[in-house]
Amino acid sequence: QVQLVESGGGSVQAGGSLRLSCAVSEDTKTTTFLGWFRQAPDLQREGVASISIWSRTIYADSVKGRFTISWDYSANTVYLQMNNLKPGDTAMYYCAAGFSGDGHVVSLSAVHYTYWGQGTQVTVSS
């Protein structure tokens, strides 16, 4: 069982920054990749960034160069640093955990994730 708790959301103006955090709790450390997803009203959930236990990362084209995912394994926390935010980044942001026998695996597809957090809202005004 893995529990994920997001924090750090809020309201900012365009061009501003936020850092999201996701605390990962699990009885046995089995998670091998983590991801951040977002969902705006009336839109499908979108993969934003993913990181593997061996530090491989992948980003959606829409956030490349602006967002950075990182995983502090000792602190059991994954972060999403979001810079130069745009109104189009407004969404509920979710953290998710997945498992693989390969430490290089990352994914922006929700179907590859087993556990999800409750989400944290990010609102960017113009």
Q: In this structure, what token pair is assigned to residue 111?
A: 């179907």
What pLDDT score was predicted for residue 30?
Answer: 83
Q: Is the pLDDT assigned to residue 28 strictly greater than 80? A: no
Please write the tens of the pLDDT for every residue from 31-73. 899 999 999 999 999 999 999 999 999 999 999 999 999 999 9
Task: Write the CB contacts of 24 (distance below 8 Å, at least 6 apart in sequence).
Answer: 2, 3, 4, 31, 34, 76, 77, 78, 95, 97
Q: In this structure, what token pair is assigned to residue 99?
A: 């498992």
Q: Which residue has the tokens 């959606």?
A: 60
Q: In this structure, what token pair is assigned to residue 2?
A: 């893995």
Q: Report residue 5's pLDDT band, with 50, 70 and 90 as the boundaries.
A: very high
Q: Mind giving me the DSSP string for 12-49? A: EETT--EEEEEEEEESS----EEEEEEE-TTS--EEEE
**Cβ atoms of 6 and 22 closer than 8 Å:** yes
**Cβ atoms of 94 and 116 closer than 8 Å:** yes
Percent of the chain with pLDDT over 90: 90
Q: Report residue 98's pLDDT band, with 50, 70 and 90 as the boundaries.
A: very high
Task: Write the CB contacts of 121 (distance below 8 Å, at least 6 apart in sequence).
Answer: 9, 10, 91, 92, 93
What pLDDT score was predicted for residue 2?
Answer: 93
Q: Report residue 76's pLDDT band, with 50, 70 and 90 as the boundaries.
A: very high
